[in-house]
Structure 1
Amino acid sequence: MSVTIENLGNLDRKITISFPKADTAQARTARLQKLSKTVKMAGFRPGKVPMKMVEAQYGMQVDFEAQFDHATNLFYDIVKKQELKIAGQPSLEPKSDMTADPVVYDAKFEVFPEVKMGDLSKAEITRYATEVNDAEIDKTLEVLRKQRVHFHTRGEESAHGNGGANTAAQTGDQVTVDFVGKIDGVEFAGGKAENFTFVLGEGRMLPEFETASLGLKAGESKVFPLAFPADYQGKEVAGKTADFTVTMKKVEWPHLPEVNDEFAKSLGVAEGVAKMREEVRTNLTREVKRRTQTLLKSQVMESLTKICELDVPKGLAAQEQERLIANARQDLAARGIPNAKDAPIPAELFTAQAEQRVKLGLILNELVKQQKLEAKPEQIKAEIEEQSSSYEDPKEVMRWYYSDPKRLADVEALVLENNVVAYVSSLAKVTEKAVSFEELSQVQ
């Protein structure tokens, strides 16, 4: 056997492997004998076909399989002896006829690149800080109140009153209307409805429609012009002006539950308002921690890809591209798109993303190896304990994590990333910035 290794570029390599044809003789015979036991030919029972006939029909196929497998085994032996770090799958091609002796194969492959880490002290990162105060808790409770709103007819007495003396539709009211629209005196598709319900001020209807409905009492009507935007989803009316008649059928005012012990119970907190506020504070604090860590991690990862230099293996990028396309198809299927598995998805849409993900993965691997940032068992346990703490039965959730190696691997990957973030942050130029809870949710 002879071996030649060629450097075809920064990462591309080629190994030319040559071996005597006799090296595959034993494997060839074994394959033919195995085939002879199952092959079917007219006039012969299975297993009784003469070996010469089996060889005549399948000899070329068996030659190729035996030679290819032997070349593959030799390739990986060479890789091991030469301590080559292969990125992706190699491509083996015969360079000689199958009848030739010796047999010659070319194996083309890529090696992992050298990662130049760069100066991490040049990374510029913003660490956000948010205080969870009483005002933030009040805002959250207000959102929870609005989620539990119910409506009463204006002017009619109920357990919560009659909504006041003014029975006209107001912002926040739920109204039920009949309407009909006409363009040049002719009704159009989708321009008519009966007993249509919406809440004024939520922006569900076009502004002209909401304005016309405001101030109407049950039984009153109003005629008004409505100009459809040029980009309106209904193409047949987009850019046109219609005359609408809206008739108010019912006006209902919103009643929000009071923040009291009964409201706390409706949220599953039997201990009352104080305990409810405590739990809201805990949840908001957990959300702040998650959000600030996510923002910090995003900045660290972006900094690493900018500061570190390496060549991206084309094979790994192609594999990642295929994985992203598969994920896109799964997403389409989850949305109920018909024939999602056959939907045309241009691969180039994911080229840059795939290369970036591969690059970041290689940088992280190198950084973890250099700085020994692997996730430790006690770190994994602490992360699982924290994630489990928000559930009713934390111990059961912990058992759920530890019962599945894949779940554990996901947590290990998360801890490893956190270790990288902590290490890079300790070297980078970090700016502390205090923001409100609302501002934190809007930071990109």
Structure 2
Amino acid sequence: MQVTVEDLSTVKKALHIEIPGETVAKAVDAAYQDLKKTVKIKGFRPGKTPRSVLERIYKKDVHADVSQKLIQDAFVDAVRKENLNFIGTPDMNLPDLEAFDEKGPLKVGVTLEVRPEIGEIDFKGIPVKKTLHVFSEGDVDTQIEMLRKNLARKVPIAEERPAQSGDFILMDYEGLVEGQPFDGTPKTENHAYLIGRNTLSPAFDENLEGMNIGETRTFDVSYDEQYVNKAFAGKTISFTVTLKGIHEEILPELDADFAKNFGDFESVEDIRIKIRDNLQQGYAKRIEQEVNEQIFSALIEKTSFEVPDVMVNYELEGILEEAERAFSANGVTFEQLGQTREMLAEEYRGLAEKQVRRHLILGSIINQEKLDLDADEIIAGFEELARNFNQPVDLIKGFYESNPEKLEFFRHTMLEKKAIQLILDNSLIEEVSPEAAEDVENTEDQTV
């Protein structure tokens, strides 16, 4: 067997495999011999059917079976011989069975991708600015006000006046494009809308201001090419709106009854304590993400390698599935946002590649530093998951121990965290205030 390897890139290879005619002929002969032992054909005793008869009836099947087995065996041998650590499903250029030659060489081309070879990574001494974000009581007050708004009652306004920004209104509306109905703004009745939130654009909301109950207005709103809702982008929509009601919010009092609406809270102060805890955790997570982003940006910049498409595509599929789940949970589809799966795939491909680079870099550091986990670390990981999901540790432990693939993924995730901590322990971390960090960003923006 002859094998030549063509480097299409550092991570993509083309294999040109040629199986000798002698090997093909022997495989064909063996296939007919095996077939003769088992096949039953009227007029011939078992094992005595002439090959010519078998060829007339089973030739295509024999050629297909022989071709498949020879190619599979040759591919496995070629990969082993060339020491190719391929990933994903190889793309095989299979020969035409109609032109199968029982005595001639069998040629096949295979394109596959391999993991990139990453040299030793110098991860020590990376400069990092750690912004010490802190929350204020004003942040707590803001959260409390949001909770009040969630429980607010909307009642018709007492006085007769036109609609204004901040009003909750009830309206019928429809939007036409070039005089024709438009899927993005179908005829809708009794639609609740907050003026000033600019859900359908600032220009739309401005046209609502000054309307009186019972009044109907028709006006045009033009959307630029960069508008966030791609279905609206570049269009001029002619809206007809009838105002049917104006409402205002009545916020609940901050008392014990208010607190009990949100769970096992006896007072507003109990809620404030919980909010402080959530804000603290949120800022800690933000600090961690900002520090990690700086570390990975530095490592990606100093570590140059090509990324296999198959790994990017796999990561991208995960991102898209997560986006679909998030949209579905909110009762929204890609199409309602003027997007398609293909558009989002193009938008998020860069992010997917970046994440693959991160995983490959961390994997390289794990191997380079010979990182591993002991039993206590794995148990600690189970305990953390149990706290996060409010489940018994034994339940978490049993789940992973009964699912070897998920356990391996869990172990690898923990090893990545261990690698990140190792990088942090060897980084040059400078703690800065949010104000100082903002000054640095402004200076960098001016420099650019």
Give the TM-score, by structure 2 length. Answer: 0.66
What's the counterpart of residue 425 of structure 1?
A: 424
Which stretch shifts more, 7-16 or 286-295? 7-16
Return the match for 1:398 from 396, 399, 421: 396
Partners of 1:229 and 1:238 within 8 A in 2: yes
What's the counterpart of residue 54 of structure 1?
A: 54
What's the counterpart of residue 149 of structure 2?
A: 146
What's the counterpart of residue 169 of structure 2?
A: 175
Partners of 1:324 and 1:350 within 8 A in 2: no
Q: Deviations over 1:175-223 (max 9, x none)?
A: 33568999xxx9999798765532333224655665565577767x597
Quick one: distance in 2 between partners of 1:420 and 1:19?
49
Quick one: distance in 2 between partners of 1:62 and 1:193?
62
Q: Is residue 257 of structure 2 the alignment partner of residue 262 of structure 1? A: yes
Partners of 1:148 and 1:257 within 8 A in 2: yes
Amino acid at match of 1:173: D
Structure 1, unpaired ranges of 5+: 156-164, 440-444
Equivalent pairs, count = 405
Give 1:254 shift: 0.6
Give 1:391 shift: 4.7
Task: Map 1:361-400; keep pairs closer than 5 Å.
Answer: 361-395=359-393, 398=396
Quick one: distance in 1 between partners of 2:181 and 2:55?
76
Partners of 2:3 and 2:78 within 8 A in 1: no
Task: Map 1:64-83; keep pairs closer than 5 Å.
Answer: 64-75=67-78, 78=81
Partners of 1:117 and 1:309 within 8 A in 2: no
What's the counterpart of residue 282 of structure 2?
A: 287
Cα 1:226/1:354, change in 2 over 3 Å: closer
Quick one: distance in 2 between partners of 1:106 and 1:179?
61
Amino acid at match of 1:307: K
SS of the counterpart of 1:130?
A: coil
Quick one: distance in 1 between partners of 2:3 and 2:288?
50
Which stretch shifts more, 362-371 or 417-426? 417-426
Partners of 1:152 and 1:253 within 8 A in 2: yes
Quick one: distance in 2 between partners of 1:305 and 1:298?
10
Partners of 2:24 and 2:102 within 8 A in 1: no
Return the match for 2:103 from 99, 104, 123: 99
Which stretch shifts more, 281-290 or 427-436? 427-436
What's the counterpart of residue 441 of structure 2?
A: none
Quick one: distance in 1 between partners of 2:85 and 2:374?
28
Give 1:368 shift: 0.6
Amino acid at match of 2:169: V
Partners of 1:120 and 1:307 within 8 A in 2: no
Quick one: distance in 1 between partners of 2:259 and 2:389?
18
Give 1:367 shift: 0.9
Amino acid at match of 2:103: T
What's the counterpart of residue 301 of structure 1?
A: 296
Partners of 2:21 and 2:104 within 8 A in 1: no
Amino acid at match of 1:296: V
Give 1:305 shift: 1.7
Partners of 1:7 and 1:13 within 8 A in 2: yes
Partners of 1:324 and 1:354 within 8 A in 2: yes
Give 1:30 shift: 6.0
SS of the counterpart of 1:389?
A: helix
Cα 1:99/1:131, change in 2 over 3 Å: same
Quick one: distance in 2 between partners of 1:234 and 1:73?
53
Cα 1:400/1:139, change in 2 over 3 Å: farther
Quick one: distance in 1 between partners of 2:410 and 2:72?
39
Q: Deviations over 1:231-265 (max 9, x none)?
A: 4977998287x8x7865x43322112233322222
Cα 1:429/1:192, change in 2 over 3 Å: same
Partners of 1:384 and 1:411 within 8 A in 2: no
Amino acid at match of 1:175: I
Amino acid at match of 1:385: E
Return the match for 1:319 from 310, 321, 340: 310
What's the counterpart of residue 443 of structure 2?
A: none
Cα 1:149/1:107, change in 2 over 3 Å: closer
What's the counterpart of residue 129 of structure 1?
A: 132
Structure 2, unpaired ranges of 5+: 439-448
Partners of 2:113 and 2:310 within 8 A in 1: no
If you compute each CA radius of gyration, which structure gives the higher value, 1 or 2? 1
Quick one: distance in 2 between partners of 1:44 and 1:346?
64
Quick one: distance in 2 between partners of 1:306 and 1:399?
39
Amino acid at match of 2:70: Q
Partners of 2:28 and 2:102 within 8 A in 1: no
SS of the counterpart of 2:276?
A: helix
Q: Percent identity?
A: 20
Partners of 1:364 and 1:420 within 8 A in 2: yes
Partners of 1:172 and 1:254 within 8 A in 2: no
Cα 1:265/1:54, change in 2 over 3 Å: farther
Amino acid at match of 2:432: K
SS of the counterpart of 2:264?
A: coil
Q: Deviations over 1:263-307 (max 9, x none)?
A: 222111244333322322232233223333233333322322211
Give 1:145 shift: 1.8
SS of the counterpart of 1:126?
A: strand
What's the counterpart of residue 160 of structure 1?
A: none
Which stretch shifts more, 196-205 or 352-361? 352-361
Partners of 1:63 and 1:98 within 8 A in 2: no
Partners of 1:28 and 1:66 within 8 A in 2: no
SS of the counterpart of 1:253?
A: strand
Amino acid at match of 2:269: A
Return the match for 1:199 from 186, 194, 197: 194
Cα 1:295/1:267, change in 2 over 3 Å: same
Quick one: distance in 1 between partners of 2:175 and 2:335?
33
What's the counterpart of residue 413 of structure 2?
A: 414
Quick one: distance in 2 between partners of 1:38 and 1:267?
75
